[in-house]
Each structure stands twice: as C-alpha cells, then as structure tokens.
C-alpha cells in the first residue's frame, strides 16, 4: 500500500519572520531541530519519508505565512515567491513531492470613496473593486454596502466585467445620535462592502 502524506510543512528563509512568533515558547534545541527539518527539501526529508513508508509528500508552507502581512502588494509578491520556490523543489523530485500553493488572502475587495468626508445629505460616490488572488478581476458578482455589519443593504449592485462597481450613498444621520468633536456636531458612519 502506498502512503501519501498531506500538508507536510516546509519553511524558507524569507518566511521566518512570519513563522517565528509561533515558536517563541520552544527551547533552542527543539527549535533548531524543527527549523532544520522544515528547511530541508533534500535527503533528510526523503529519508524520513522512506522510514515512515511514505511515497509522496504534499508540501505546504509552515504557517502563518502572508496572512500576517498587512500590505496587500507585499503579500501577493511574497506568496508568488514562496510558491515559485516550492515549484522548483517539486521539479527536482517530481516522483516524491507535490505541493499546495501559498495564496494571499488580503485585499480581494477595494473601496475608494470620492472624498475623505461628507456633509449631511451630501452624496457619496464609492468605487468598489473585487479581485481574485494575484489580481485577476472578479468578472461577475454581487455587491452590498451595509451600515456596520447590518444585513440590510444601503446599496446593491453587480460587478462589471472588469470587477468594478460604483454606488451612491446619501450621508444622512439621525442627529440625536451625533457626537461632539470639537465645536461641531458630527456623526460617524461606518459602512462595509460585501
């Protein structure tokens, strides 16, 4: 019977900063042994597979990875980099390794209002963009803009073929809920695109 090991983790130097906070409570000896095992794509990993009777390992990055990255562009670039490293290692041993691509989850939806703030009863024009991983636009989909995390939509619509939607919101507020900020009354509105 052939064994296939799923989600066998690996680590590359460029991703150690994301991984390091997850191992702060591990002693130096264990840390060094674990790090060496994760970083190895060669004989140490293959020998361990052979001892366990594993014919193929499906490799994936030891987490967390780019999900810790606050910058969407950096997350996308680094996800590509680590996936490319994995692909090169698989090509060296295609009979023993398969892999799971590391995908960024940041920034699939972008929201750009036409102004930074609005007066009451002033119309806000909001451009919404949706992208799949690595920047490919979502060519079909629905958009709902709600207040906070409410279910009731203030604006609804469909994305166009380029993954864009433009909606208009009236900046209205219940004046009894206004808050004091300096000499003027203001009401903070929080909207969420879905």
Q: Is residue 11 part of a domain?
A: yes
Same domain for 182 and 120, yes or no, is yes
- Look at residue 142 in the predicted model and tell me its pLDDT: 80
Q: Which of these three, 99, 126, 160, is where a domain ends?
A: 99
- Residue 24: inside a domain: yes
pLDDT band at 49 (very low <50, low <70, confident <90, very high): very high
Same domain, 82 and 13: yes
pTM to 2 decimal places: 0.59
| Contact status, residue 138 vs residue 132, Cβ threshold 8 Å | yes
Give percent of the chain above pLDDT 90: 36
Q: Which domain holds residue 26?
A: 3-99
* Count of domains for the chain: 2
Are both 67 and 141 inside the same structural domain?
no
Question: Does residue 104 form part of some domain?
Answer: no
CA 10 to chain centre: 19
Q: Within this chain, do residues 9 and 80 fall inside the same structural domain, yes or no?
A: yes
84-88, 155-159, 185-189: which is most confident: 84-88
Domain boundary among 64, 99, 134: 99
What pLDDT score was predicted for residue 188?
Answer: 46
Q: d(Cα 85, Cα 125) in Å, to the nearest integer?
A: 43
Residues 117 and 95 in one domain: no
CA 142 to chain centre: 20
Residue 92 vs residues 30, 88, 89, 97, 181: alpha-carbon distances, Å? 28, 7, 5, 9, 63
Q: Are residues 115 and 59 in the same domain?
A: no
Q: In whole angstroms, what is the distance from residue 161 CA to residue 165 CA?
A: 10
Q: Are residues 168 and 130 in the same domain?
A: yes
Query: Which of the listed residues 70, 99, 128 is the one where a domain comes to its end?
Result: 99
The answer on 28 and 74 residing in a single domain is: yes
Q: What is the CA radius of gyration of the chain?
A: 24
Over residues 116-125, the mean pLDDT reads 77
Encode pLDDT of 169-181 as tens digits. Answer: 876 555 444 444 4
């Amino acid at each position: 019977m052939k064994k296939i090991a799923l989600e066998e983790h690996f680590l590359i130097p460029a991703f150690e900063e994301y991984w390091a906070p997850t191992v702060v409570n591990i002693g130096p000896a264990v840390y060094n042994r674990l790090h060496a095992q994760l970083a190895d794509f060669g004989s140490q990993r293959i020998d361990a597979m052979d001892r366990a009777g594993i014919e193929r390992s499906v490799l994936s990055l030891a987490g967390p990875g780019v999900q810790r990255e606050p910058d969407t562009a950096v997350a996308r670039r680094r996800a590509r980099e680590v996936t490319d490293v994995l692909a090169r290692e698989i090509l060296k041993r295609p009979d023993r390794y398969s892999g799971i691509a590391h995908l960024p989850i940041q920034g699939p939806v972008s929201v750009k209002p036409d102004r930074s703030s609005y007066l009451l009863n002033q119309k806000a024009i909001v451009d919404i963009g949706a992208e799949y991983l690595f920047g490919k636009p979502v060519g079909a989909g629905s958009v709902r803009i709600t207040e906070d995390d409410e279910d009731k939509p203030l604006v609804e619509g469909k994305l166009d073929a380029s993954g864009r939607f433009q909606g208009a919101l009236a900046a209205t507020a219940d004046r009894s809920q206004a808050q004091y900020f300096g000499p003027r009354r203001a009401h903070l509105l929080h909207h969420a695109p879905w």
